[in-house]
């Protein structure tokens, strides 16, 4: 049975960020690491966006960035300059290629393209099985996510940020290339929190996503009809080609994934509960957690002892309660926020970097009655 110090399961955002951090840290120079994924990671299966102040660690991979965001509610819309932030986009394939290049050049990380079927912590080490092969690791980091990890419980609602996106090439130059449409709620809500998200790559090319924050997925056609009608009604075009498509569903829940970790197995990425419950944004949140995990690994303490829970968990809990109880009017929260507060404060709060005073200011910008009701529901 092949034996390793660490086994990383899943070569997606979290697994590769962990592998990259390991390669950059001399503590791991003499360690053997196995990276497993059922996929060869050779397709552009997603794009990641995040906001950031100034320069960042992924800048060499940025495909497009924007200095303005646009928000539209039902009664209010505005284009904002977001300086000192920039809204940045990375294509999955560029990220995979860049980290795999480093892994191939390294002597201590081995990649195997296999599907993992079982993982077991026997107290001493971790046994990872795939069809016909078994690997032994001192510790394992697992990014295989399955919704039942969160939905097996009833205490915390599990909403999803779900979407289908099309990269369209239009006949006419219709997009503002320095503006990302962060949320456009002017579309029909149909009993849910629904918005359009537009990321222009050029004046005639953009990724347009029909996105929902709700409990259940829609039929594929429903997202597609919404994108077509947005192109026709909001962007005045019926002449376009679909160049690429993407779809996704990201959990939005305050359920604490902590119970899945063991002494020698740590869940990471979406499977570790690293998707921000109130937004679904996971990429930047993962990048912030990896260095903390690396330091924890170096202490040799049990992996389940590391917790990322902070006061923002409680804010997210109230937010998700409001969104869950009245999903049809979720747009009102965002409309109030963007009307009353700057995107800079919103981004800082969502990055969990605000002071308590700034938290109060942010929360006071939300519709008050639903949040006070949610607080009472929680307390009593």
Ligand X SMILES: Cc1cc2nc3c(=O)[nH]c(=O)nc-3n(C[C@H](O)[C@H](O)[C@H](O)COP(=O)(O)OP(=O)(O)OC[C@H]3O[C@@H](n4cnc5c(N)ncnc54)[C@H](O)[C@@H]3O)c2cc1C
Question: Using CB under 6 A as the criterion, which residues of the chain lie in contact with ligand X when the complex forms?
Answer: 9-15, 36-39, 46, 48-50, 115-116, 143-145, 246, 248, 250, 269-271, 281-284
Q: Quick one: 17 or 323, whose CB is closer to ligand X?
A: 17
**Residue 365 structure tokens:** 């910008």
Give the residue with the Cβ less far from ligand X, 269 or 343.
269
Q: How far is the CB of 13 from ligand X (least distance, A)?
A: 3
Shortest reach from residue 379's CB to ligand X, in Å:
32
Quick one: 7 or 254, whose CB is closer to ligand X?
7
In three-state secondary structure terms, 364 is helix
Residue 39's H or E segment, with its range, is none
Helix (H, G, I), strand (E, B) or coil at 12: coil
If residue 16 lies in a helix (H) or strand (E), which one and from where to where? helix 13-24
- Both tokens assigned to 172: 């006419």
Q: Minimum Å distance from CB 303 to ligand X?
A: 16
Q: Are strands 193-202 and 179-184 parallel, antiparallel or unpaired?
A: antiparallel
Nearer to ligand X, 47 or 262 (CB): 47
Which residue, judged by CB position, is nearest to ligand X in the bound state? 12
Dihedral sign computed on CA atoms, order 198, 201, 205, 207: negative
Q: What is the rounded CA–CA span in Å between residue 252 and residue 249? A: 9
Q: What is the enclosing helix (H) or strand (E) of 14?
A: helix 13-24
Cα 112 from Cα 4, distance rounded (Å): 13
CB of 250 to ligand X, least distance (A): 5
Residues 261, 8: Cα–Cα separation, whole Å: 14
Q: How far is the CB of 340 from ligand X (least distance, A)?
A: 25
Residue with structure tokens 């120079």?
29
Q: How crowded is the C-beta side of 279, counted as CA atoms within 13 Å?
A: 21
Q: Which is nearer to ligand X, 38 or 169 (CB)?
A: 38
Distance of closest approach, residue 128 Cβ to ligand X, in angstroms:
9
CB 161 → ligand X: shortest distance, Å?
8
| Least spacing, CB of residue 105 vs ligand X, in Å | 21
Q: Of 13 and 374, which has the nearer Cβ to ligand X?
A: 13
Q: Which residues make Cβ contacts (< 8 Å) with residue 55, sequence separation at least 6? A: none
Nearer to ligand X, 166 or 371 (CB): 166
Q: Based on CB atoms, which residue is closest to ligand X, 82 or 374?
A: 82
Reference 323, options 372, 370, 365, 270; nearest CA is 370
How does DSSP classify residue 218?
Answer: P
Cis peptide before 84 (omega within 30 of 0): yes
């Amino acid at each position: 049975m092949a034996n390793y110090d660490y086994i990383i399961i899943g070569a997606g955002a979290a697994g590769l960020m962990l592998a990259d951090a390991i390669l950059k840290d001399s503590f791991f120079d003499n360690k053997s690491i196995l990276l497993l994924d059922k996929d060869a990671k050779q397709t552009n299966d997603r794009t990641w966006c995040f906001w950031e102040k100034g320069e960042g660690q992924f800048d060499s991979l940025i495909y497009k960035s924007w200095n303005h965001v646009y928000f539209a509610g039902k009664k209010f819309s505005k284009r904002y300059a977001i300086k000192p932030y920039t809204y940045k986009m990375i294509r999955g394939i560029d990220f995979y290629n860049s980290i795999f290049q480093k892994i191939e050049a390294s002597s201590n990380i081995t990649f195997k393209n296999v599907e993992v079927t079982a993982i077991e912590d026997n107290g001493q080490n971790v046994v990872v099985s795939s069809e016909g092969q078994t690997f032994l690791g001192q510790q394992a980091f697992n990014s295989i996510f399955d919704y039942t990890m969160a939905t097996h419980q009833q205490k915390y609602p599990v909403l999803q940020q779900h979407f289908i996106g099309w990269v369209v090439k239009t006949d006419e130059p219709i997009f503002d290339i320095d503006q990302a449409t962060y949320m456009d709620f002017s579309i029909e809500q149909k009993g849910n929190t629904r918005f359009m998200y537009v990321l222009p790559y050029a004046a005639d090319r953009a990724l347009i996503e029909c996105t929902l924050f709700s409990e259940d997925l829609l039929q594929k056609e429903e997202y597609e009809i919404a994108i077509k009608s947005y192109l026709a009604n909001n962007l005045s075009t019926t002449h376009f080609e679909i160049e690429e498509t993407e779809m996704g569903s990201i959990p939005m829940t305050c359920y604490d994934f902590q119970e899945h970790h063991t002494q020698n197995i740590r869940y990471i990425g979406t499977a570790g509960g690293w998707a921000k419950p109130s937004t679904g944004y996971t990429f930047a949140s993962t990048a912030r957690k990896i260095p903390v995990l690396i330091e924890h690994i170096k202490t040799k303490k049990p992996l389940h002892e590391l917790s990322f829970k902070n006061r923002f968990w409680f804010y997210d809990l109230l937010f998700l309660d409001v969104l869950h109880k009245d999903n049809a009017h979720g747009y009102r929260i965002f409309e109030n926020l963007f009307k009353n507060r700057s995107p800079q404060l919103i981004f800082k709060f969502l990055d969990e970097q605000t002071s308590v005073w700034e938290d109060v200011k942010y929360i006071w910008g939300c519709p008050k009655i639903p949040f006070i009701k949610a607080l009472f529901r929680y307390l009593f």
